[in-house]
Amino acid sequence: IRTSAFTIVGAYITNDPITKRWGLTDTVIALQTMVIAAHLQGIGTCWIGDYNEVRLRETLNIPPTASIAAIITFGYAHKVPGTRKKRALDTILHTNTW
């Protein structure tokens, strides 16, 4: 996080019935759209889900009425990972049953 060009913390308000229900979904959609847009411009990203929530809330003054969805760092990658081998479709697709 310290060496990224910038970092976005996706948070949403939870003390309202609408945002409590849809806040996480809307926030994650927005974050993923940023990741896709960054990729299209040659910028690397990294989702971070393991963080000290108490320290993050204190540092950014995030109120208790908000929940944190994720953290995403942005920057130019030192190394671009190669393409992974895709799994066979019949091993990941299920129709009408698991």
Question: Comparing 9-13, 19-23, 45-49, which segment has the lowest mean pLDDT?
Answer: 19-23
Residues 6+ apart with CB under 8 A from 24: 12, 67, 69
Q: What are phi and psi of 77, to 5 degrees?
A: -75, 140
Q: What is the 3-state secondary structure (H, E, C) of 19-73?
A: HHHHHHHHHHHHHHHHHHHHHHCCCEEEEECCCCHHHHHHHHCCCCCEEEEEEEE
pLDDT at 31 over 80: yes
The structure's pTM equals 0.79
CB 51 within 8 A of CB 71: yes
Mean pLDDT of 90-98: 83
Residue 91's pLDDT band (cuts 50, 70, 90): confident
Q: Above pLDDT 70, what percent of the chain? A: 99
Mean pLDDT of 78-90: 85
CB 46 within 8 A of CB 70: no
